[in-house]
Chains A and B, each alone.
Chain A
Amino acid sequence: MSRTYAYFAGLVGTVCVAFILAMLFLPLTRTIRSDVLQGFLIGFGLAFVTAQVYARIKAVRINGWTTLPRLGNPGNGMLMRAACAQLFPGPVNAAEEAVYWWANSDGAGAALTGQQEYVLHFPAGGLPPNNAFWSLTMGDAGNRFVANSLRRYSVGDRSGLVPNPDGSVDVHIQNEPPAGRESNWLPAPSGKFILWLRVYQPRAAILDGSYRVPPVARVEGGQR
């Protein structure tokens, strides 16, 4: 659900509505051929916009993170299935198997970019509750892997994150390695990026929505 996509959906919606209004109120010469053709195109455009709007209504946003509930579950409704097919490139897991959050903005709502430095701070005992594993994966603006000196594309329960003395965990998300904190570095590209938080076999606190993913916080004075 990137901003570009939102603008595109808005544009398609506006064009469709403008067209319908023009047809209703302007004295245009009509043929049956144009009725059918325009009906088809506008119906298709509105279907795209409907699914996009539905996804935005159903999306749960917390601290800059977005997730869609009941993805991949049977009986989740025709509109949710259309939205899911538009937003994800393939079949995704049912929520009981895995829950996905994504973020393209920090906790304050500004776009995530490698021109800034960020910290994702999990309080002590606040890592995503799961019975399998969790991971935080970096994608560039086009949702592709980001080349970096460590060849590290994600961090998580298996990446050797070093907790702070109080048991909390900081993930440093930035373009340049943080001196002395490389173990907790998730390399970012120099431009805009997307973060994916995956939790497999999520526990009840995630499924019932009570677990809140902490915000990705911009480090003051961290800009390059």
Chain B
Amino acid sequence: MRLEHLLIFGSVMAATWFVAIYFWPRMLLSVFKRAILVKGFGDGPIPVNTLYTQREDLFADPLHVPAGGSKVASAGVNRDTLLTLGWLDLSKGPLVLQVPDMADRYYSVQFTNPSNNTNFAYVGRRTTGTAAGGFLITGPGWDGEVPAGMGHIASPKRSVLLIGRVLVYGDGDIKAAYHLSKQMRLTRQA
């Protein structure tokens, strides 16, 4: 076998190996992006900078996933928390996340960097407590003042995947958890 063939083969192989490993998380997150913005979870696509909460009936009866929606949010078995999902785009300025008083109920809002699938910030019972509050979410290069009384989430990227989880105490509590989840809102900074 001639050396030049070996070199071409070897360098293509090494480059593909590196690129595939490096971009694997991004590939997974692009599936999520598509699921949220294009397909939705049974109620049509979810616009950018909007939060969507998993349906109560789906949580109550997880055996029957509605047809037509993306399966990514219902992959795996989770009967603890009601999920809220959103795809954020910070290129047109900061957003504000409002959370209601959760009265010591476990909840968390995870901010995931879609380029490497790691979580750069959390809002929730562990990190910020369960009182009502607002959090300013800013993109890279943002330069401004965080309004008084507001928390600050600085994102390293313009795109963010947001995943909210609100604990469900039992079958009789799904409605309450859903109601609280729906009070987590995203607005543009006034």
Contacts and interface: CB of A to CB of B under 8 A. Distances in A.
The residue among B29, B79, B116, B163 with the most chain A CB atoms within 10 A of its own CB is: B79
B126 A89 contact: no
Contacts of B142: none
A144 B21 contact: no
Contact of B117 (A46, A81, A201): A81
Given A30-B1, A72-B118, A42 B13 contact: yes
Interface in A30-74: 30, 32, 35-36, 38-40, 42-44, 46-48, 50-51, 72-74
Contact of B8 (A39, A76, A86, A143): A39
A86 B24 contact: yes
A72 B112 CA distance: 9
A219 B13 CA distance: 50
A143 B77 contact: yes
A122 interface: no
A151 B21 CA distance: 40
A223 interface: no
Interface residues of B, number: 55
Interface residues of A, number: 60
Contacts of A94: 110, 118-119, 122
B167 A47 contact: no
B110 A38 contact: no
Contacts of A133: 80, 106, 167
A74 B120 CA distance: 7
Contacts of B161: 91
A103 interface: no
Contact of B110 (A89, A93, A147): A93
B21 A50 contact: yes
B80 A30 contact: no
B47 interface: no
Interface in A7-37: 23-24, 27-28, 30, 32, 35-36
Given A90-B28, A201-B106, A76 B9 contact: no
A211 interface: no
A153 interface: yes
B6 to A, nearest CB: 8
A131 B170 CA distance: 18
Contact of A36 (B6, B8, B77, B163): B8
Interface of B: 1-2, 5-6, 8-18, 20-22, 24-25, 27-29, 32, 61-63, 72-73, 75-80, 106, 108, 110, 112-113, 116-120, 122, 124-126, 161, 163, 167, 169-171
14 contacts: A27-B1, A35-B8, A39-B8, A42-B16, A47-B16, A48-B20, A50-B17, A74-B120, A76-B118, A78-B21, A97-B122, A131-B126, A154-B77, A196-B76
